[in-house]
Structure 1
């Protein structure tokens, strides 16, 4: 099979179709386009999500905390605790582990979450360090997202710019290769995009406003996320290329490596779907917090399109072509 997360059809047939047991206290569970599960905890929903870091080699402690916190925030919930599992090859040094945990700890402090446990192991089963992070969050039950209420004409909002995570990973991990052909300024700008990788703030703002759906853009990029969002809301989505914002460093790096920025892993950006009135209020709120956001499309009856071209189901992320 191709490197990367399972394609949606295989994910359904090999994973979700086999999960048959159901509990009444599970309010929301995993699915295509669903970043979290929600468990009934009285007045609150306990929101949980888990994700590995496999593509990056640098900044992985920072990325591990951000990526799963982003998933919880994409449900409008407040991240509370993080569990980290580290699997490291025999060549790993004490300094490597210390650097990962220092970066993870600093990021957790920045987001006001606590690293509450996990597992650290040296093993010959991996050839690079793999981190899996699980985040637990909380949310008032009346604030849980309601994608079933989405109708045709609802607006699709994108926060920040696409391919933030992918650009920062490539600029860091392939710097020695890229510096021979791209300017230092472009690479430094690409690396600095990692500072914009959290969507916790915009997720909390949008959740408090009562938007109907959010999705953190990860593997498969904006095209993959839009396709998954369409599956999650059981409706079509039309987006417009000219409305999608791309950083200049992303354009230059992707052009040189001949990869598609629209299919490049993009944590740091959030898709939000809500009605036009709430969309305009949300844009004002995000703007007041200096968070870039724009309407890039709308919900339609069926199909997933960028301009007039139909978007195909997500395949292996562009990152794996170069990393």
Structure 2
């Protein structure tokens, strides 16, 4: 099988199909395009999400904290605690572990989330460091996103720009290979994208300002996230390629390593679905916070498409992320 998340068709067929037991106190169940589970805890919902870091070598402590907290934020919830499991190959040094924890500690302080436990193990079952984080958040039950209310005509937007995480990883891990092919300015701008990995602020704002659905843009990039958005909500989505914001550094790095930036992992940006009036107010609020929002399309009755230069084509379900072609 290809490296990366298994295709959504297989996920549905051999994983989700075998989840037979459902409880009434689970408010949001497992499913494609659902970043979190939500469990009924009286006035509040307990919001849960888990993610691994497998595709990066540098800054993985920070990445691990940000990426799992992003899923919680995409539900409009506040992350509270993180459980972190580290599976480390025998070649790992004490300095490696300390660097990971220093990065994770700084990131958790930035996001005001506590690392409350986990597991640390040296094992020959892995040949590189694997971090798995599970984040627990809380949210008033009245504020749980109601994606069942999505209707044709609702706007589809994304925060920041495409390819954030992938650009940061490639620029950092492959800096020596990019030198002389990509300008130093673009490499440095790409590496600096690690500061843009959080969607906590826009997620909490979106949850309070009428978002019907939010989805962290991870493996599969913006096109994968659009496909998952449509399938998760049983609607169609039409987007316009020229409206998708991409930084010049991402374009230059993607061209240098021959990958599609629209299929590149992009933690740090988020899909948001809202009514037009709510979206306008949300955009104004984000602008005041220095966060870019771009309306890239709309909800339609059926089909999942992207239009470019007047030509409309179907968006296919996400396969292995472009990052695995080069990392």
Give the alignment's TM-score, normalised by structure 1.
0.99
Alpha-carbon distance in 2 for matches of 1:146, 1:6: 27
Pairing of 1:163-174 with structure 2 (within 5 A): 163-174=163-174
Report the 3-state secondary structure (helix = DSSP H, G, I; strand = E; otherwise coil) of the residue aligned with 2:219.
coil
Q: Does 1:316 align with 2:320?
A: yes
Corresponding residue for residue 233 of structure 2: 233
> How many aligned positions are there?
323
Measure how far apart 1:182 and its partner are. 1.5
* Deviations 1:33-60, CA, capped at 9 Å, x for gaps: 1000000010000000000000001100
Report the 3-state secondary structure (helix = DSSP H, G, I; strand = E; otherwise coil) of the residue aligned with 1:15.
helix
Alpha-carbon distance in 2 for matches of 1:117, 1:250: 36
Corresponding residue for residue 91 of structure 1: 91
* Deviations 1:8-34, CA, capped at 9 Å, x for gaps: 110011100000011111000121110
Pairing of 1:100-249 with structure 2 (within 5 A): 100-249=100-249
Segments of 5+ residues of structure 1 without an aligned counterpart are none
* Contact 1:143–1:210, Cα closer than 8 Å, also in 2: no
Give the alignment's TM-score, normalised by structure 2.
0.98
* Deviations 1:241-284, CA, capped at 9 Å, x for gaps: 11110011100000111100000001000000011110111101
Alpha-carbon distance in 1 for matches of 2:222, 2:181: 27
Measure how far apart 1:180 and its partner are. 2.9
Alpha-carbon distance in 2 for matches of 1:295, 1:180: 36
Alpha-carbon distance in 1 for matches of 2:121, 2:261: 35
Corresponding residue for residue 4 of structure 1: 4
Alpha-carbon distance in 1 for matches of 2:265, 2:29: 23
Two-structure CA RMSD over aligned residues (Å)? 0.6
Report the 3-state secondary structure (helix = DSSP H, G, I; strand = E; otherwise coil) of the residue aligned with 2:92.
coil
* Contact 1:35–1:72, Cα closer than 8 Å, also in 2: yes
Alpha-carbon distance in 1 for matches of 2:82, 2:240: 36
